[in-house]
A and B are shown apart, each in its own frame.
Chain A
Amino acid sequence: MTLRKRYLRNIKHNISFYLSSLFLTMLALLAFFMMNIAGNGILDFADDFFAAHHLEDANFKTYMQIPQEDIAAIEKKFDAELNAQRLVNLKENGKTVRVFCRTESVNTYEITVGEDFRADDEVIISEGYADYNSIKIGDSLTLAGTDYRIVGFFQRPDYLFMTENPGDDTKNVETFFLCYLTDQAFDKLENTSEQYYVRFNQDNNIEFRKYINENYHMSSYTAAENNSRIQMVVKQAQMFIIMSYMVLVLLPLVVVMLISIIIGRKVRSEQRMIGTLSALGYTKGKMIRHYAGFAAVPGILGGVLAVIVAAVCAQPFGEVPLNDYEPLRVHCHLPALAAVLGVIVPTLMYMLSSARKVRRLMKADTVELLNGTADSRENRIRHILVNSKMSFRKKFALRSILGNPSRTFVVFLGIFLGCFIMLFGFSFFDSLEYVGTDSSKVIGDFDYEYVFNVLKTGDFEDGEAAIVANAETEDGKVFQLIGVDPANRYLHFKDENGKETDVSTGNYLTSVEAYILNIGTGDKLKVYNPMTMEYREITIDGVIENNYQKAVFMSRAAAADMRGLDADMYNAVMTTEEQDYPDSELYTTVRKSDTAEQMDKLVNTMKFLVYFLLFVGAAVCLISVFVTVNTLVTESRGNISMLKVLGYKNSKIDAIVLNIHHILLPLGILLSIPAAYGCCALFYRSIADLEGALVTPYIRPESFAISAALTVVSYFGSLLLIRNKVHRVDMVESLKDNRE
């Protein structure tokens, strides 16, 4: 219809609004696309890679070696694929290299650069380490005094998230790497051990475990779903996808509010024209579609532009969160469903919001529309402060704020969301940095914890002996069973109320594990031995404040009893001095300073995300305030020109018209603080199981100051941009409009 000609003219007339809405829509959609592309790309890659390289269902170690001929028999007996792999950890120039022999069929590697090794003097190493340390094909590597030539880089499915110890939170490609040698070269190394990988074809893993333990005495068993090196990839990808859909709905909400206000006001200001068209025979449906068309413009344009940008930049977008892993060859593309949803969802939200406004107005009588008196309900809020002695400026501001709740809400939302996004970004990283400080306080006063893969007996005088063993819940969730002497000099447990507790008197659950298992004091817990699948039911006597270890603490005697060990046996020690144990004896070593270092490293590698969120937050605040106050100025042209006629200077007019929302600035900033804390806490709670820690939300004072300052700058920046519009209001033109 001819009315469509208005679209282009109207867009030209309200170009700042359309550009702002377009930009906000694109920003929201690009955040959605980025996470969606990354999540789907990683998942697709992981599925293919895991399948192609026969990812394990579980890995385990035994005290007795399983002979090669037994392996074939076990495979047949349990209809499973079982591979043994020889390995050894070597220290070379302050770096740890885990040297492997090839496996037959499970957890096979893929050469990503160069070629596979053939000769005994050739090695291949993990690609992430090679990249990080700028190692090239052809470089030499010394292992146990022998020089080898690096002929290729590789990746393997159970080490895509490269951590030295199973419980580490961040990847380590700086000082830890993997390496493969020929069997003949490997034979020359000392203190090697064996590890087994199994793939089940049937649901018989419990019978399998029992059989292995009875015949070969298992020393450890880790199912793939409890292996963070494997699960980190999958769960993080799934988290990206979930977050992408949350962003798809939440961020355009601001634009929906803006569109709702602008279109609503546009419709109200055009009620005479609507009345005329209605009198001329235009149906309600036609009118609603016409005005919905105005709202659809930023949705469709923003959607299409964002799809184009995302399609072109899919690869760099998708690679952003790959920082955590080995250099994955993820093929990133924008999924068709995401592209369609990206265009449809915001457009539909905007159109529905405008249709709702038009429908409400169209309920009015045509005569009322023609007279311009439809939707002119008496605003009771206007009557506030009538009898107050307050200056008219303050009354004007307060009535304007309270009398236009939707407009006020958008300004508030812009300030609040802007500051919230920035604070949330900061809280994410500040909390991680704080983990180092906080964890060292609650974990204990020791500096080193050595967990052995052999049992020791007798007294240990250089520190405290302990029993550290993996345990599982009934539904297969892994945690640690830690038995310590009641007089342990390094551990000072406090319960949820800050009261000192004594492990000699019972079983104490850490707060993070209590949260993950959703149990507390007095509850029963079945503690399974993952090797034998036998269990003991224990009563939780208290919850100790420790958000960084998924564990149950008890006395060493009780832990020994649960595992069928003698009372004087132990497999772990805590010390303040570094000890020199052979690698072959060690299952894992925990340095307390590692946590802080790991967190610092993680934060530094992802700092760009903070800058991105600062930009998004500032943009949201600036655009929301700009568009809303811009509308306010357009609607207040009459008042502005009258103030000019009356002799008001520009600065005074600015103070009356532009500054009315100032009160919302501290309010929005203040409310964003608990919101950021809350969301940060929710986020870390949601990944507590995956991370094995319940990260405490923390925001540094500097972060508060930067977020608040940027919000204030964005707010006043937007007002500064609009100031010229106020100054440009022409007295004569406005008065002429009034005369008309």
Chain B
Amino acid sequence: MFIELKNAVKRYGKGENAVSALDNTSLELDVGKICVILGPSGSGKSTLLNMLGGLDSLDSGELVIGGKNLTAMNAKQKTMFRKEDIGFVFQFYNLIPDLTVEENIEVVRDIAEDPLNMDEVLGVLGLTEYRKRFPKELSGGQQQRVAIARAMIKRPKLLLCDELTGALDSKSARTVLECVENMNQKFGTTILIITHNDVIAGMADRIITIKDGKIAKNTENSAKLPVSQLEL
């Protein structure tokens, strides 16, 4: 298994105000698969993503990704883990406004050990003509593709996407999802997408539904569809 999460517990707050974001949650995911995690606001989706990305720590339980035990890692080791193994794509892109498209991607390429070719990545994501533009000069969809390019350039083993189409129109959303699909197919990257949008679940190998910090449903998607056929 590429991802093994066992009996994960994460609580925020203290005493009566304590809230269980993850409540004895367990999941497994094979390498190279696309997994979509669905759930309402406050269900624990983002907490799960933060744990998988090494951004936050579990109160109890065990998390192993690609053979690396995250629960035993200190802050420095987690930084190295994020640098080497994880790619992130967020709903609001989180690009650095004072850097051009190319330079934003360069930020990750600069610390990657075996980065992809910049021109190739820009080409794959259809960003070549925008390479000298600043984020503010791009549409939301284009910005999200830059965020994907930034994640992709370092060849991450796991790509974590948090509501990556949440701020986009359907046309832009499709383009962005095609980029993610393309990445999975071309580089065999394991992809985990958190979303409110049930339709996106159509492109997944596995669909997990979270409710109140617990896995409510965990199913194989036997009817997996290419993004082009999703009714976004």
Contact = CB atoms under 8 A, between A and B. Distances in A.
A739 interface: yes
B55 A645 contact: yes
Interface stretch (B27-35, B88-96, B183-191, B224-232): B88-96
Nearest to A740: B92
Contacts of B98: 382, 396, 399-400, 403
Contacts of B162: 735, 739
B132 A739 contact: no
B196 to A, nearest CB: 12
Interface in B66-109: 76, 79-84, 86, 88, 90-92, 94, 96, 98-100, 103, 106-108
Contacts of A395: 99, 103
A93 interface: no
Contacts of A652: 111
Interface stretch (A189-197, A424-432, A636-644): A636-644
B148 to A, nearest CB: 14
Contact of A386 (B76, B84, B94, B100): B100
A387 B132 contact: yes
Q: Which of B55, B98, B108 has the most CB of A within 10 A?
A: B98
A739 B103 CA distance: 24
Interface of A is mostly: helix
Contacts of A645: 53, 55, 82, 88, 94
Nearest to B78: A647
Contacts of B108: 646
Contacts of A382: 98, 134
A738 interface: yes
Interface in A631-667: 638-639, 642-649, 652
Given A396-B96, A399-B98, A732-B50, A649 B79 contact: yes
A379 to B, nearest CB: 9
B7 interface: no
A639 B96 contact: yes
Interface in A654-706: none
B56 A732 contact: yes
B129 interface: no
A247 interface: no
Interface in A701-738: 731-732, 735-736, 738
Contacts of B60: none
B172 interface: no
Nearest to B109: A392
A649 B74 CA distance: 13
Question: How many residues of A sit at the interface, in one of the four size bands?
Answer: 20 to 34
Interface string B45-75: 0100010010110000000000000000000
A739 B134 contact: no
A535 B53 CA distance: 95
Given A645-B55, A648-B83, A638 B94 contact: yes
B21 to A, nearest CB: 11
Contacts of A386: 100, 132
B110 interface: yes
A229 B94 CA distance: 72
Contacts of A399: 98
Contact of B46 (A391, A396, A400, A739): A739
Contacts of B163: 739
B94 A648 contact: no
A638 B80 CA distance: 20
Contact of A738 (B56, B76, B82, B94): B94
Given A395-B99, A735-B55, A647 B92 contact: no
Interface string A94-121: 0000000000000000000000000000
Given A395-B103, A396-B96, A646 B91 contact: no
Contacts of B50: 731-732, 735
Nearest to A636: B96
Interface in B109-153: 110-111, 132, 134, 136, 150
B50 to A, nearest CB: 5
Contacts of B99: 392, 395-396
Nearest to A386: B132
B103 A646 contact: no
Contacts of A392: 99, 103, 106-107, 110
A646 B107 contact: yes
A649 B103 CA distance: 19
Contacts of A644: 79
A416 to B, nearest CB: 25
Contacts of A643: 107
Contacts of B83: 646-648
A736 B163 CA distance: 12
A648 B86 CA distance: 12
Given A387-B132, A392-B103, A732-B56, A646 B88 contact: yes
Given A392-B103, A735-B90, A646 B96 contact: no
Contacts of A403: 98
Interface string A377-413: 0100011001100011101100110010000000000
Interface string A184-210: 000000000000000000000000000
A389 to B, nearest CB: 11
A91 to B, nearest CB: 77
A391 B91 CA distance: 28
A395 B132 CA distance: 13
Given A638-B94, A642-B94, A645-B82, A732 B55 contact: yes
Contacts of A648: 79, 83, 111
A392 B103 CA distance: 6
A652 B79 CA distance: 12
Contacts of A646: 82-83, 88, 107-108, 111, 150
B80 A647 contact: yes
A739 B106 contact: no
Which 10 pairs, one residue from A and one from B, show the smallest C-beta to C-beta distance? Answer: A647-B83, A647-B82, A392-B103, A392-B106, A642-B94, A399-B98, A731-B55, A386-B132, A738-B92, A732-B56
Given A649-B76, A739-B162, 19 more contacts: A382-B98, A386-B132, A391-B110, A392-B99, A395-B99, A396-B99, A642-B94, A645-B55, A646-B111, A647-B82, A648-B83, A652-B111, A731-B56, A735-B50, A735-B55, A735-B90, A735-B94, A735-B162, A739-B163
21 contacts: A387-B132, A392-B106, A395-B99, A396-B99, A396-B103, A399-B98, A639-B96, A644-B79, A645-B53, A646-B82, A646-B83, A646-B108, A646-B111, A646-B150, A648-B79, A648-B83, A735-B50, A735-B90, A736-B46, A738-B91, A738-B92
